[in-house]
Structure 1
């Protein structure tokens, strides 16, 4: 819902426009102000999307108000109401985008048309085309970071070839998911010139610079993707370019040789131009995409087992005996995915990953015990951490959670973890619902006790420190009716109670319910009941 603010120092104009737009179904949340200062007060409290304002006002005129609006809400559309003698003002105003003007004498139809045009402009602008255009110069860096996230996602499990094809196309990855890939790991030396570890920002900047430098060495004969892994090192996924007349085996073999030479050149170039020394490990055997996780583990372990400090090293390895290392890393990666689901309250996703982890761990016949032990305590510590964070010690039992040997079997151990997780999700959901109900009840009580005061969405949202849109959605979710409908219902019931008594005049009843004019109250009452307040009172007397 868009928010429109009507501003004019003449109350009769402001109130009249407010009444007109209140009767229209334009999806607008309406507010009014009788001066530029009051208008700014509204804009300091909440987002404003459209301002319909007089251009000549005392103290703060429309142009000054426009400049203040631009500082707060740049997307806001402004419609000025002007007189015949305001040409100089108008000329200054229309130099700004998102500003239009109307003569006060043109009538309500023209004003309504200007506001509907402003709404259409807002809807188009919210497509963010202009933001995409502004981001063009950062596209390469953003793609690198996104592709790095995707690479870490790939390491968590196998994707079908058709899924890879869609992913590659959307992320701008120029590799063929149906062909094997050569994997190379480039490890940056972690000390700067002062012998100190660089900051995170420095490491990221160096890795990106090295990636862009390396692309100039690899582009000629290969299709490649360079990504930054979780340790801040560069991982290269490489395929030979087609068209050299070799069979697949020969093409990949020659590509490995090509890479050994190019990485040597890159080592020297990075040292000369970036002041960075690197160690490179290349997997000589091309791997299918489903083997990527295992191969990555293999070459990283070879970096760990290297001879010497690895500076200026280019090391080629073959893939052997990788299953156990791959399983251990895969379990750790997926255990991290559990934390993501737990944080987001996604029960089904959490339980699905948990079942997959348990199945994988029990399937490891050679080294099952240590793997199961690592997995159990990883998950138990995760659950224990969230029990602490959410202060649920009195609701979710922790007995036996950190003592694996209290359970008779591995099956019992993991069943205990599963039940603990489900209990944690149950209490979290229950707590969310309880807090939502209590918050909405607070709003309802406030409405009933202040029915004659300002009950705008912004006012009510500010009272409970929510943003207006969220309060509107939460109220509808909890009560089944829109907030405005509920306020009207309360006013109607209170009006009937007052009209049954003769103590107040009808105009006084309307005033006590927040209606500024007798006609507004009469119109509202008749629309709701089919009779006027006077007719209702007379019928009750009879």
Structure 2
């Protein structure tokens, strides 16, 4: 959406230009007007302005002074000056400024609309260029800092794809230097102590510094990705560099390399960062499907073994998780946090897909694990109860049965109950959003009907009702079927027709009551909408039986 401000101290010109430009039907163009440079400054203080169409000579604050103010507040704003033949000095100053055009007042409305369209095209092109540059910058920053970490934290929750080809596509997109079909080794670091008691932000900085330092030691003999996990600890996913035909030996050699190299990393962290570190290495290679369980295992092992605070490199030598009770998938609070996030954001399909995935281990192998079913049920029920309490939805969603797992005859019935409760919450959310939108638009419509003589521009209505202008414009059209400007015009015509049937009111008084200070502007507007001038309409209604 672009916002165009017409500025002229002659009301007949300001009104005429506003009406003509507003009637061009340019999608997303919001046309406002000001009758002086001072009033224009008030607009510039209230909202972003993209194009200013202004007289170059005005009392109090002329066009050139206005241009300086615009440049300070909205440097990308396009300026079109209207000028007379004798304004050469002013025009010369104006055209030396980038993004400024000028028109002679004698060139007519067609030339004005042509220049406005040209300014919009320039804005479009600048936006596309800026967008492309921003995309490149964001992509670079994402690849170097955030995206790989976000992606692998997602995998550690067990939410990633199981298809190596899809995973490979993700890896290429994110410049991940790992083979999506080969297993990985994990190395988890833990900060034991640093020079001072660090805050959360400082701990994050220390973890990142440790990661960068260790990367230098690992880069010559392995392929790896290093991230900061959700607990603020550095974590590496590592593959050996070597002949894939001798995978077993390659991974065994890589474990030995890591054990020795991480001791050097510890020393470097102590000397360079004044930070003591412990590391836990998975002594077995982990298939991508077992990554969440393997990560949980080395985190659990590190938690148990580093309680004395001693700096160490610990290797987990237990068998890979796929050979040890893989049917009993570890229940991680993180997955319920993701589930709660889907509920909060209204992502219904993702919510039910993840809920189904979470409860799947309950009946694996044809045998129901009641203890596991109970734990999963109550974890999900507590998440739903928390949502209901925070949203104060007790009347709409009864909660009496949520915490009564044993009242359900089977665990399947219990989870179906949770699904029905969740579906009710999503339905209530959709209904509430629709009702709130309809109520807000009804309130705005009522305000318009009662304040037709006032400024009803999109900016003013948005500010009054606390909406973003673009959002208000879109929602108003969705709910009412009319553009906001169309709705206002129809309301003004209805009111004008009603007032014209009354005796004692002059035409210009009626125009003022429906928002037109200049009589000629009201007459032009009325005739365009009805095919008759206000006087012709009044006479026709008098003659009607």
**TM-score of the two chains, using structure 1 as the length reference:** 0.88
| 5+ long unaligned stretches in structure 1 | none
Shift in CA distance, 16/184, structure 1 to aligned 2, threshold 3 Å: same
Aligned residue runs from structure 1 range 21-420, under 5 A: 21-27=21-27, 28-82=29-83, 97-104=98-105, 107-127=108-128, 129=130, 132=133, 139=140, 143-155=144-156, 156-159=158-161, 160-189=163-192, 191-194=193-196, 196=197, 198-241=198-241, 247-306=246-305, 309=308, 311-320=310-319, 322=321, 329=330, 331-363=332-364, 368-420=369-421
Check whether the contact 1:293–1:326 (CA below 8 A) recurs between aligned residues. no
Paired residue for 2:469? Answer: 468
Q: CA deviation at 1:154?
A: 1.0
Change (3 A) 1:21 1:140: closer
Which secondary structure state, in structure 1, belongs to the residue aligned with residue 166 of structure 2?
helix
Contact (CA 8 Å) 1:141, 1:208: kept in 2 or not? no
In structure 2, the residue matched to 1:459 is: 460
**CA shift for structure 1 position 131:** 8.5
1:72 CA drift (Å): 3.7
Task: Give the superposition deviation at 1:3.
Answer: 0.8
Aligned to 2:478: 477
Using the TM superposition, give the Cα deviation of residue 4 of structure 1 relative to its aligned residue in structure 2, in angstroms. Answer: 0.6
**Gap change, CA 1:61 and 1:532, over 3 Å in 2:** closer
Query: Residues 266, 321 of structure 1: CA spacing in aligned structure 2 closer, same or farther, 3 A cutoff?
Result: closer
Cα gap change, 1:229 to 1:34, in 2 (>3 Å): same
- How many angstroms apart in 1 are the aligned matches of 2:444 and 2:484? 10
Separation of aligned partners in 2, 1:464 and 1:345? 25
- The alpha-carbon deviation at position 125 of structure 1 amounts to 3.0
CA distance in 1, matches of 2:85, 2:331: 74
Of the structure 1 ranges 330-339 and 287-296, higher mean CA displacement relative to structure 2 is found in 330-339
Alignment CA distance shift 1:271-1:56 (3 Å): farther
Mean Cα deviation higher: 518-527 or 390-399: 518-527
SS of structure 2 residue aligned to 1:361: helix
Separation of aligned partners in 2, 1:125 and 1:47: 16
Contact 1:298 1:325 in 2 (8 A): no
Whole-Å separation in 1 of the counterparts to 2:118 and 2:231: 52
Secondary structure of the corresponding residue to residue 126 of structure 1: helix
Q: Partner of 1:441 in structure 2? A: 442
Q: Are residues 108 and 388 of structure 1, via their aligned partners in 2, closer, same or farther at CA, if it must alter by over 3 Å?
A: same
SS at match of 1:472: helix
Query: Match of 2:194, SS?
Result: coil
Deviation at 1:70, TM superposition (A): 4.1
1-structure distance, mates of 2:486, 2:73: 31
Q: Is the 8 A contact 1:6 1:31 kept in 2?
A: yes
Q: CA offset at residue 109 of structure 1?
A: 4.2
Q: Is the 8 A contact 1:185 1:236 kept in 2?
A: yes
Deviates more, 1:12-21 or 1:343-352: 12-21
CA–CA distance in structure 1, aligned partners of residues 137 and 480 of structure 2: 45
CA distance in 1, matches of 2:524, 2:396: 53
Alignment partner of 2:305: what SS?
A: coil
Query: Structure 1 residues 93-102 or 339-348, which shifts more?
Result: 93-102
- Extract unaligned runs of 5+ from structure 2: none
**SS of aligned partner of 1:185:** strand
Cα pair 1:183 1:236 within 8 Å, conserved? yes
Quote how far apart the aligned CAs of 1:270 are: 1.5
Residue 231 of structure 1, CA deviation: 0.7
Question: 1:340-375 CA deviation, whole Å, 9 max, x = no partner?
Answer: 111112233222222222223333888933432332
Counterpart-to-counterpart distance in 2, 1:304 and 1:250: 29
Please report the TM-score for the alignment, with normalisation by the length of structure 2.
Answer: 0.88
Distance of aligned partners of 1:420 and 1:475 in 2 relative to their CA distance in 1, 3 Å threshold: same
